A and B are shown apart, each in its own frame.
Chain A
């Protein structure tokens, strides 16, 4: 009521109220404002095991054992663990826990907290978002060392255990009755920042004065406003009110970069956006059809028109370049390119006949498919339209069907679709992670059952074997050899058609701050929504003199 009255009163005082337009923090203290549209207001919960809010605390309050840089093929940096070592045929992973680290409430951090964290995940599977305990056998403490025993060799799981699991304080969490529904509105962590205030509209982080990396962080305050739609978030960036952006800005040169010489952007590719092809579809299970489609899509046009060129064209191997260029077999990458004539040739050779501009299978079924996509992702909708136009030109009719995201996901997870325009794969520090989520049939499920990965229902025992072999080796050369074979499978069997390369959206303003991630120095994935990388970024930022 009070507010109502105040508003009524004050709307009349327009002129009086219009004056004060302030920006940035007050003098003497440094601040960075993040503009990252999440489509939601903040709940002011910071539970690092709640996937919908963990990005707000993991990296700032909560930290990982070892930082893994996804843009440098998994280069590691010791973090809460000062070192790690594999042993026992890649079945034992031992971390040495850093000394002198304190929780933000002043209590000392120790190896016991690490063990407790993993026991917590074991006890409450709902918290174990990366399914660590599907491969773990035990986690034990020995002084300042913590040993992880695996059921089988599990080299790729290093990433999840060392980099993707936030470590929480035993003295806090052991008294929590139900960690699954625990809100954690005042998180206690080891990280460089503490949550200072939170409202549904904005979270304010203050620097942790007793942070273990002495002298850091340099920025006093971090503002993280909630944006419910893209537009206002983009405006904040363009106007310079926010310095760190992490979203798609259409026409970025005109809308953002041209507004200030301090405005910059870089979009490092991390994962493919691909056409998933349902392998169980009677027509699409025909390799010739899939091949023709792979030749028929003009990836660079999709990239240029649908994505403003921000997302580069993909290649059929599934290796995202330049991020993972050293993993790419260039010969394979060139094999399947845009070639409509070849596409038509392939279907013709397979005995398909054209009728009314559309090819028909030898038994008379037209090559006419529906491709579902998420109506809310406007750039993907535009891209899907171009894909459909491309395929129409080679005699394959594709009708794009725009769905709400939940309907879409429902269909994809259950395999109720023919084609899907998607980028749901897991990104990781090496291309293996994405290829695994595309090709590993043990992550899949029959049509009608919810699949956790391999949504196109591709299944090849040889490929599965390769994926399992990779898990058993920490040897780079062997890993590369295996990935090359997986690339071969992608090119030969076309389980999906990578179209463009999904990127980390990243805009930054160098007006008042320096130390940003650049293409020349990709010390972290630069999008604010990537954890724990955003914490690494915040530690690098410095106010300009």
Chain B
């Protein structure tokens, strides 16, 4: 019970911290949305029009910080994120919702794949310690994990798209393709996602391999693994049910957090690949001082992280019976 309370406290405090940070940052920054607006129009807007636009936006009302804070909290609680400056006059919610599937499909799926693949490789290299797999893959991917992602992506585009022509170089799909649930579009979208997906996996997999391998090696020294050997169980059974299942437990929350960081991680991916997701949108909102959009995205990222951690707690509870009762 104490644990559940502590956990709950953690969620509440984190959420509050994120929400407050979210509120404060734009207000501590120089410039304001109106100027940003004028900048976007490249001086083509006359001051009266600008003034009228500002009123339309509601950027010009001078509230006190405290009342603004509570108004902000109220809006968030009701899910009102306002109108996006960047995508004026569209609402933030609409914009985010249409960009999100792209990010989830690309970066989300890839993050899962990197975790699964990395965990498997780590499992095998830990199990077959000193083997060829163990000697080659973990060090290799530890090194690739130190590659600057965007650089790898740029080189891949240059090599695989431009020089070799294997993959399209950018975008979510071919501009001449009609968006919809038809085979042409789906293959096209998949085709466009392969290169970004591969580059993400190559840079993200190393961490999982290493932690899983290390966990595995530590778990292999446990008595219950020796006991399983003594029982004459088949090696794969020992590897999965005895070693693997115990070794993966500590990685679950890490995985959950990485899922939560999908949006943050998507920023560079989407920047380089001109991919139409929320990562790029976030960058855009920052550039344009589009607070409404920025706050919504930032909040979404934090909430995703928290939800993912919650999911990991549940998963841990399912996989590890000890945690179920001590709660």
Binding site for B on A (CB under 8 A): 2-4, 6-8, 10-11, 13-14, 16-18, 20-25, 31, 33, 39-41, 43, 45, 47, 50-52, 124-131, 134, 180-183, 197, 199-202, 223, 225-229, 231-233, 235-236, 239, 241, 376, 404-410, 413, 424-426, 437, 450, 452-453
Contacts and interface: CB of A to CB of B under 8 A. Distances in A.
A410 B31 contact: yes
Interface string B135-164: 000000000000000000010010001100
Given A21-B165, A24-B176, A25-B176, A128 B46 contact: yes
A45 B46 contact: no
B291 to A, nearest CB: 11
A450 B35 contact: yes
Interface in B53-103: 53, 55-56, 83, 86-90, 95, 98-99, 101
Interface residues of B, number: 79
A251 B311 CA distance: 51
A528 B227 CA distance: 73
B35 A228 contact: no
Nearest to B166: A18
Given A3-B101, A22-B176, A52-B41, A183 B89 contact: yes
Contacts of B189: 7
Interface stretch (B217-225, B230-238, B268-276, B299-307): B268-276
A405 B165 contact: no
A523 B86 CA distance: 33
Contacts of A239: 162, 169
B49 A228 contact: no
B319 interface: no
A127 B99 contact: no
A404 B109 contact: no
Contacts of A8: 109, 113
B113 A11 contact: yes
Interface stretch (B122-130, B190-198, B245-253): B190-198
A437 B274 CA distance: 35
A3 B105 contact: yes
Nearest to B104: A4
Closest 7 CB pairs of A and B: A232-B170, A131-B46, A126-B52, A409-B39, A10-B190, A181-B89, A232-B274
Contact of B35 (A6, A16, A410): A410
Contacts of B99: 41, 200
A133 B95 CA distance: 34
A502 to B, nearest CB: 11
A7 B49 contact: no
Chain B interface mostly = helix
Nearest to A235: B169
A31 B174 CA distance: 14
B166 A41 contact: no
A237 to B, nearest CB: 12
A175 to B, nearest CB: 17
Contacts of B288: 406
B156 to A, nearest CB: 13
Interface of B: 30-32, 35-36, 38-53, 55-56, 83, 86-90, 95, 98-99, 101, 104-106, 108-109, 113, 154, 157, 161-162, 165-176, 178-179, 181, 186-191, 193-194, 197, 270-274, 276, 280-281, 284, 287-289
A354 B319 CA distance: 77
A239 B162 CA distance: 8
B172 to A, nearest CB: 6
Given A22-B174, A45-B89, A181-B56, A4 B49 contact: no
Contact of A452 (B46, B90, B113, B280): B46
Contact of B90 (A2, A180, A183): A183
Given A180-B53, A202-B175, A228 B271 contact: yes
16 contacts: A4-B105, A7-B193, A10-B186, A11-B190, A18-B167, A20-B187, A33-B175, A40-B86, A52-B40, A199-B179, A201-B171, A201-B175, A228-B280, A232-B171, A409-B31, A410-B30
B169 A232 contact: yes
Given A125-B51, A128-B48, A228-B274, 17 more contacts: A6-B186, A7-B189, A18-B167, A20-B187, A22-B176, A40-B86, A45-B90, A52-B86, A124-B52, A126-B49, A181-B83, A197-B179, A225-B175, A406-B36, A407-B30, A408-B39, A409-B35
A426 B43 contact: yes
Contact of B109 (A7, A134, A201): A7
Contacts of B284: 39-40, 228
B35 A406 contact: yes
